[in-house]
Amino acid sequence: MSRFSRIEVANVMRDTGLVPLFFHSDIEVAKQVTKACYDGGARLLEFTSRGDFAHQVFGELSKYCNEELPEMVLGVGSVTDAASASLYMALGANFIVTPVLREDIATVCNRRKVLWSPGCGSLTEICRAEELGCEIVKLFPGGIYGPNFIKAIKGPQPWTSVMPTGGVSPTEENLKGWFNAGATCVGMGSKLITKEMVLKKDYEGIRENCEKALELIDIIRS
CA-to-CA separations, 220 to 12, 17, 177, in angstroms, rounded: 17, 11, 10
Return the SS3 of 3: coil
User: Kind of pairing, strands 137-139 and 162-164?
Assistant: parallel
What CATH number is given to the structural domain containing 210?
A: 3.20.20.70
Arithmetic mean of pLDDT, 111-128: 97
185: containing domain: 6-221
- Domain assignment present for residue 10? The answer is yes
pLDDT at 51 over 90: no
State CA 61 to chain mean position distance: 16
- Return mean pLDDT, the chain: 97
Maximum CA pair distance of the chain? 47
Arithmetic mean of pLDDT, 150-172: 96
What is the number of domains present in the chain? Answer: 1
Question: What are the beta bridge partners of residue 75?
Answer: 46
1 — pLDDT class (breaks 50, 70, 90): confident
pLDDT of residue 176: 98
- Domain assignment present for residue 1? The answer is no
pTM equals: 0.97
> For 212-222, how does the pLDDT look when each residue is reduced to its tens digit (9 = 90+)?
999 999 999 99
Arithmetic mean of pLDDT, 150-164: 96
Least Cα distance to 45 among 31, 28, 60, 27 occurs for 31
- Domain assignment present for residue 131? The answer is yes
Q: How buried is 28 (Cβ within 10 angstroms: 0-12 exposed, 13-18 middle, 19+ buried)?
A: exposed
Arithmetic mean of pLDDT, 102-122: 97
